[in-house]
Chains A and B, each alone.
Chain A
Amino acid sequence: MLEARDVTIEYGERIAVADVSVTLAAGQITAIIGPNGAGKSTLLRALNGQLRRSSGVVLLDGEPIEKLSRRTISRRIAVVAQEAELRFPVTVLEFVLGGRFAWASNAGWGWETERDVRIAEEVLRETELADLSGRLMNELSGGERQRAVLARALATEAAHLLLDEPTANLDLSHQATLLSLVRGRCDKQQTAALVVTHDINLAAQFADHILLMKHGKVLDAGPPRAVLTPEMLRAVFDVTVLVDAHPVTSAPRVTPVHGRRS
């Protein structure tokens, strides 16, 4: 279990995250929604132990995260970030095998074991990339590349997945595919996932729990139906929205009412 308790993070004078608590429960997807600069990604980076907190604790399976080695953390928390630009040719399989680094017996030199390769091939099948495993990463389309980034995170076998705007730059069908894959992991392997996203409707459809953030603070948290109300969304985004039920999934559906800023 990954848990942040009363976490505050400051960048110089600016408070990026103020007194936020969040718990990632096994088998659940938590989505963080909020305007740009709300502190969503900062919170995600703090949960991974990357950012220094000015107060509060982050507990990974009950232990303060700063007490754990980088490799231990990486075996338990995987991050899917917006992909960095690749400047060297790397095949999809090599890229995904990177997810096995934290399990290597010898930190630097170690070679992938049979098991590492098997796991990589499994996640490549799971993400429908098996046919592309020998291709170079920069020959893939945007959607395929983002699936490879997810595949690498899944290859870590971490029980916690942190996804930072995983669907940005993806078209409609790839957005749903990606989150379905995450949903599948959570259901089958009791993975706990945290998704930072701008897409409220995608969050409403896939998340069990939503955190609404603004100016570093959590304004509301709870199941999508309870949190995604017109009042709350106006408070967060300063925009008037219509919320109704999705005709198929019956998840809340949010539509901005344009030209009606509050």
Chain B
Amino acid sequence: MTTRVTLRRTLIACGTLMLALAAAIVIMSLLGSEQLPVRASLCAIFSAGTSPCGLSRDQYDILFQLRLPRILLAAAVGGSLATAGASYQALLRNPLAEPYLLGVSNGAAVGTMIALVFFGAFEWSRPVLAFAGALIATLAVYQLARGRAGATPDRLVLAGVIVTTFLSSVIVFVTTLMDATRIRSFTFWLLGDLSGSTGTLLPLVIAIAILGTLALTLNARSLNLLMLGERDAFDLGVEVGRVRILVFVIASLLVGSSVAASGSVGYVGLVVPHLVRLSLGSDNRISIPAAALGGALFVIVADTVARTVIAPRELPVGAITALIGAPLFIYLLKRV
């Protein structure tokens, strides 16, 4: 009778996006400053790396040691940030809520930098402190934005600006503690950079992206009601406090792990959920998983542009996403 989101529609949309994502992973792995033979590369990818299919040693390493890990990282980071953005937007009832703009990414960045400067020897300290930083920034923004009449969109954006600028100055302060050679790679990382070697972090980032998206999707119906207002949600049976804490913790985990691995890639959480809602509607049961897959796709493409457009030199992927995201933000700001 009317357009209503059903399980069937969700599965079709997510299935299509999954196919597109798989295709993007394969195609983008063939693009880059080093030309790889298409047929041999495809053969090697579909054999899951067990057979080189005639690729030279160097070509094989470029494909499996550089490009595919980087593309998988891009997918995990994009999925994490888009999911976090979509759930912040539902929880805070604000289409402008986004990890980067709220200062959550900066919180995670401060955590990561503290880990690098003081606990450099322990790789695992980076995601842990990034998570802590993201969570603290989230709670700070939430408290600042909450007025007597609840959090208005303007107040939330302003609170995000304040937290972001405050944390930026902390970042500058921590940067001065570093030696000069590391500062340049650091500024690059801060803008969102997927080129850094992530090593053992990659499986962690992928696992958090998948599990976090699942956990938030399982609470999507509660988020649908929270999107209409906290009091309405409460009246209709949502345990508002529990869902709020859950979203804050999981979104902070998602943002923390992505920032620890790739710095602050901005605007993914704004652009992707917005496009998803435009095409599939506002029901979070479809828009959260679709945003995760769409975010993965978006960052893979953006990063391919970042590493090919002025090859052999590279741009930080955050520069590409901001180039697309900032105009959209202005457009949304005028409509809210």
Contacts and interface: CB of A to CB of B under 8 A. Distances in A.
Interface string A98-111: 11011010111111
A233 B150 CA distance: 35
Contacts of A75: 237
12 contacts: A48-B235, A50-B231, A71-B237, A74-B236, A81-B235, A84-B228, A88-B95, A90-B227, A95-B228, A97-B4, A101-B236, A102-B236
B231 A108 contact: no
B229 interface: yes
B222 to A, nearest CB: 5
B219 interface: yes
Interface stretch (B42-50, B139-147, B280-288): B280-288
Contacts, number: 97
Contact of B237 (A74, A97, A109, A121): A74
A184 interface: no
A79 B6 CA distance: 27
B2 A50 contact: no
B238 A101 contact: yes
A102 B237 contact: yes
B1 interface: yes
A99 B236 contact: yes
Contact of A93 (B4, B95, B232): B4
A116 to B, nearest CB: 11
Interface string A67-97: 0001101110011010010111111011101
Interface of A: 48, 50, 70-71, 73-75, 78-79, 81, 84, 86-91, 93-95, 97-99, 101-102, 104, 106-112, 117, 121, 133-134, 152, 156
A70 B282 contact: no
Q: Which 9 A-B pairs have the closest CB atoms?
A: A74-B237, A102-B237, A84-B229, A134-B2, A108-B219, A79-B235, A88-B282, A71-B237, A109-B218
B221 interface: yes
Contact of A98 (B90, B93, B228, B285): B228
B206 to A, nearest CB: 22
Looking at chain B's contact residues, is the secondary structure mostly helix, strand, loop, or mixed?
Answer: loop
A81 B237 contact: no
Contacts of B222: 101, 107-108
B175 interface: no
A193 to B, nearest CB: 15
A248 B222 CA distance: 47
B103 to A, nearest CB: 21
Contact of B221 (A50, A87, A108, A121): A108
A93 B225 CA distance: 13
Given A73-B237, A156-B236, 5 more contacts: A81-B231, A88-B227, A91-B2, A94-B4, A133-B2
B221 A101 contact: yes
Interface in B3-47: 3-7
Q: Name which of A109, A110, A121 has the most chain B CB atoms within 10 A of its CB.
A: A109
Contact of B234 (A50, A93, A94, A152): A50
A135 B5 CA distance: 14
Given A91-B3, A94-B4, A102-B236, A109 B93 contact: no
Contacts of B220: 108-109
Contacts of A121: 1
A87 B153 contact: yes
Contacts of B277: 88-89
Q: Name which of B2, B94, B239, B283 has the most chain A CB atoms within 10 A of its CB.
A: B2
